[in-house]
Amino acid sequence: MARAIYDYTKTILKKVSFDTDLFVKELEKAVKRLLPFEIEELRLWLLEFTMNKPELYVGLSVLRIK
């Protein structure tokens, strides 16, 4: 079931990426739900996903990405 939550989180983040505030809000909820190793996977995915979306870089701070 945990894997399903991770996949669902990625789907939601893709769908709300048009709105920075909503993206950050959903990312904060995801961090509360996911397991530590899934948060690390999400961090790696976010680095790739936001590479060409500088407006979403603010969301990276939720995961404390430097």
Alpha carbons 29 and 40: distance in angstroms, whole number: 15
pLDDT digits (tens, 9 = 90+) for 11-51: 999 999 999 999 999 999 999 999 999 999 999 999 999 99
pLDDT at position 63: 78
Q: CB–CB of 28/45 below 8 Å? A: no
Q: From residue 9, how far is each of 16, 27 by CA, in Å?
A: 11, 8
> Token pair for residue 31?
């961090």
**pTM, to two decimals:** 0.86
